[in-house]
């Protein structure tokens, strides 16, 4: 099928399961921030679950269909609107040439993922079609969509799978986390602060990290200047010099010098991806 972007939306990028295996040269794994939504949207249109999708943040693009085909979105409780009419969620939608597609965000999520049926012949870097922005540099510029761009997919010569998956659960506001390598540096007040009350996402938060209003104190056992940079992962919760807790996301840095007090579970990353600035959540500690 063929789709033309009439507007780009806030930021619309190609994302897939990312490019694992390059953290030793500082390249984050990246990929769709909500992986369950990526899999489900692809399955709805009969694509392999790791196919690229469009990651749509808050304000979606307006898209015109040039050649018919199927699309489906998952994640963030966004509504798909075709020619001004809202469509039922969690189903594949057939677009005909001339149809216009737009998105209606909900307060329950931050990002939705639009699967487009067929084989995406898009540029890949290090095995992934995912956009990656470092400062003002786009490392894969072809993965960022602007007004006037056309996305074309090509038919697979396979029978699409039926869709046995259940839709991903609605974004959860409790985030499961293990103790991180420097958990022991938290003082008792900070532990109460971290688990006892709700935490709010604050600006600037993006694909690299979610910043929070949690303010934590670290015991002076090891001053921050003594900590040498060491590996971090998506879902690592670090405490900055001024005590702010930040949660690293899939485009986050690969090494860091701040104490790593928690490590969120892999599935919690999908839920974190749906938090908007101003949303509240809570950490739940897992023993083990």
Partner 1 sequence: MIKTDFHAVIRPFGEVGSLVDISAPTMDEACHTVMALNKMLLARRLSAIVSTTPSYSSLLVCFNPSLLGRAALHDLLQQLLNDLEQIDQPRGVTWEIPACFGGRYAPDRKQLEVALSTQWDVIVHRFCSIEFTVRAIGFVPGFTYLGGLPPDLHCTRMMTPRARVPASSIAIAGNQAGIYPFDSPGGWRILGRLPFAVFDTADEPPAIFSPGDQLRFKPVDETEFASLAEQPRENVISVSVAGQ
Q: Name the site residues for partner 1 (rule: CB under 8 A).
A: 20-29, 125-126, 132, 134-135, 137, 139-140, 178, 180-181, 228-233, 235-236, 253-256, 260, 263-266
Three-state SS at 235: coil
Q: Output 79 or 179, the one with its CB closest to partner 1.
A: 179
Q: What is the CA radius of gyration of the chain?
A: 20
Least distance between partner 1 and beta carbon 126 (Å): 7
Measuring CA to CA, which residue among 249, 270, 283, 275 is closest to residue 108? 275
Report how far residue 53's alpha carbon sits from residue 100's, in angstroms, rounded to the nearest whole number.
Answer: 18
What whole-number distance in Å separates Cα of residue 258 and Cα of residue 246?
10
The CA distance from 73 to 78, in Å, is 8
Q: Which is nearer to partner 1, 158 or 242 (CB)?
A: 242
Cα–Cα distance between 260 and 236 in angstroms, integer? 6
- Minimum Å distance from CB 120 to partner 1? 19
Task: Check: CB of residue 76 under 8 Å from CB of residue 130.
Answer: no
Sign of CA dihedral 119, 125, 130, 131: negative
CB of 285 to partner 1, least distance (A): 13
For partner 1, the closer CB: 125 or 156: 125
Residue 15 or 253 with smaller CB distance to partner 1: 253
User: Closest CB to partner 1 among 156 and 195?
Assistant: 195
Q: Which of 283, 284, 279 is nearest to 76 (CA)?
A: 279
Return the number of the residue (190 or 263) whose C-beta is nearest partner 1: 263
- For residue 181, the minimal CB distance to partner 1 (Å) is 6
Under a CB-based contact definition with an 8 Å cutoff, are residues 267 and 172 in contact? no
State the nearest-atom distance from the C-beta of 174 to partner 1, in Å.
Answer: 17
Least Cβ distance, residue 26 to partner 1 (angstroms): 4
């Amino acid at each position: 099928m063929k789709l033309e972007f009439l507007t780009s939306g806030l930021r619309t990028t190609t994302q897939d399961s990312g490019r694992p295996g390059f953290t030793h040269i500082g390249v984050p794994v990246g990929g769709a921030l909500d992986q369950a939504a990526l899999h489900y949207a692809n399955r709805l249109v009969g694509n392999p679950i790791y196919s690229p999708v469009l990651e749509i943040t808050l304000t979606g693009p307006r898209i015109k269909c040039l050649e018919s085909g199927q699309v489906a979105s998952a994640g963030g409780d966004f509504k798909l609107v075709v020619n001004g009419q809202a469509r039922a969620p969690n189903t594949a939608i057939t677009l005909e040439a001339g149809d216009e597609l737009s998105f209606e965000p909900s307060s329950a999520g931050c990002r939705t993922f639009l699967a487009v049926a067929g084989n995406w012949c898009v540029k890949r870097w290090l095995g992934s079609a995912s956009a990656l922005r470092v400062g003002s540099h786009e490392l894969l510029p072809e993965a960022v969509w602007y007004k006037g761009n056309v996305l074309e997919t090509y038919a697979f010569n396979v029978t699409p799978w039926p869709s046995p998956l259940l839709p991903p659960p609605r974004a959860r506001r409790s985030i499961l986390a293990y103790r991180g390598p420097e958990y022991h540096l938290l003082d008792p007040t900070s532990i109460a602060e971290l688990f006892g009350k709700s935490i709010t996402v604050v600006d600037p938060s993006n694909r690299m990290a979610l910043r929070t209003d949690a303010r934590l104190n670290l015991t002076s056992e090891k001053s921050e200047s003594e900590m040498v940079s060491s590996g971090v992962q998506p879902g690592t919760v670090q405490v900055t010099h001024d005590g702010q807790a930040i949660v690293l996301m899939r485009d986050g840095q690969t090494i860091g010098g701040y104490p790593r007090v928690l490590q969120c579970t892999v599935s919690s990353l999908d839920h974190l991806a749906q938090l908007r600035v101003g949303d509240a959540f809570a950490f739940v500690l897992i023993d083990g």
